[in-house]
Structure formats: C-alpha cells, structure tokens
Amino acid sequence: MAVQYIEAKNVNLTFTPPNRMPVTALQGFDVAVGEGEFVSIVGPSGCGKSTFLNVLLGLIKPNSGEMAINGNPVSGPGRDRAMVFQEFGLLPWRTVLDNIGLAPELRGVGKRQRRALCQSFIDMVGLSGFEAHYPHELSGGMKQRVGIARALVSDPDVLLMDEPFAALDAQTRDIMQAELLRIWQEAKKTVLFVTHQIEEAVYLSDRVIVMTKRPGRTKTIIDIPLKRPRDYEMRVTPEFNELKLRIWNELKDEIDTQGGPQL
C-alpha cells in the first residue's frame, strides 16, 4: 500500500443538542488512505459517513481521536482539503468562470491570473465554451463539473466527495463516474468518496470501507483489484459482480433491507 496520507484513529463524536437526547455519530472510527488512492465509504443511512467528511474537512470537532493529513494534525479547515457536495451550491448570479474562480478571488488573485487558472480547470472538466454561462443554463452534470473544478482550483491535496452524483439521473451519473476517473487520473489527487451505491463504489475505487450502522465504525475494508483504466463494460464481468456481492454481504446486516439493497 502507498504511504498513508490520510489517517484517522479512534475518532469519536457525539452530538449533544439542547433539550434532546445525545446522538453518538462516530465511535472508534478508523480510516487510512494512501497518497493518490481513491477510497470510497459505504454504509447505511445515518451511520456518520458525511459527518466524518465534515470532521476531516475541519468543520466539526470530534470529541476524541487522532486525524492527520500528510502527517499534519487536522485542527480546522485548511487549503490542503476541498469538498464536493451533493448539492451543487453554485452562486446563481455568477458565471461558470466566476463560480470556479471564487476562492482565488477571495485570496486576492488578480483577474488575469485568475482567469488563466480557472480556464485550465474548465478545460479539465470538459466545460470549454461554457465559461460565460450561468447555473440555470447548465444541466445537472455540468453543474457538478463546475463543483469539481471549483474544488480543484485551490490545488488541494485531498478531495472529499459527499455523494456528488446522487441528484443526477442514472445515465448522467454513469457519465460523470467515468469523467471523475479521468479527472482524478489527470489531477492526481487523493480522494475520499462517500456513496450509497455499491456499484459506484466498486467502479471508482481502489478500496471500499464498509461502515456499521450508527454509531459508525469501520466494519471491513475491501480491496478492489480491478485493472485501470476502467470502462463501463467491466460492470457486467463476474469479477465486478463478485465484489458487489461481497460488499452487500458485509452491509446487509447493518441496514433495514425492507426496501431492498441499493446495488
């Protein structure tokens, strides 16, 4: 395995809202991600997957535990991390170029340098020609490309992705998964990706972390030894489906299966 780039050991987090019972979201949660790896986290709804990303992003302080990125303890937000959210969160009055360039603008980067920087990421995510478009003029997949470019423009070491394709239709989601792999290989970032879809996790990842139901803990870690680059057709191979089944078998005891599995 590559040198550990993200390390979280024995992370514990309990929410204590006023006038309500405490809720333990994470209990003894461990994560280790090598530099340049693509690792997905799957688990039942409410198990703390998204909460952990916010902890790692530095937005939520855990009650206890150790977290480090490249050996540096996580004590708050930092430019070494960026998040792509499920909700697009684009500013409707700003163009594609200006939405992507918001963070550099806030850092005081000059307009000419900012435009050149943003253009390189616009090209990377496949939005050339749409620089002057506004969010209401874009499809869902295009909006999420803006979100990915907006996260990458600050050149983070770690890209955190919280179900970024959940709001997309099935066809667009498949296209965006393939595009994400292309972007990841080009940008060479370490990715921690949260999803409810087992197939998505298998297709994208080097390894998949399966979490228990709340309070969330690491139940098992499954290697995905599928060759790269990956194509859509590999989803119908016996090897791919065996990995899906293995993850489902680990996950099914942790969720209410009355609605059926999200394979």
Three-class SS of residue 188? coil
In the chain, CATH 3.40.50.300 sits at 4-80+156-259
- Report pLDDT digits (tens) over 224-261: 999 999 998 999 999 999 999 999 999 998 886 444 44
- How far apart CA 201 and CA 244 sit, in angstroms, is 9
- Report pLDDT digits (tens) over 51-93: 999 999 999 999 999 999 999 999 899 989 999 988 878 999 9
Q: What is the DSSP string of 100-168?
A: HTHHHHHTT--HHHHHHHHHHHHHHTT-TT-TT--GGGS-HHHHHHHHHHHHHTT--SEEEEESTTTTS
4-80+156-259: CATH topology: Rossmann fold (3.40.50)
Is the pTM higher than 0.85? yes
For residue 3, what pLDDT band results from cuts at 50, 70 and 90?
low
Q: What is the DSSP letter of 80?
A: T
Amino acid at the residue 160: L
Predicted pLDDT at 87: 81
- How far apart CA 178 and CA 200 sit, in angstroms, is 10
Q: Which residues lie below 8 Å from residue 202, measured CB to CB, with a gap of 6+?
A: 208, 224, 226, 240, 243, 244, 247
Task: State the chain's mean pLDDT as an integer.
Answer: 91
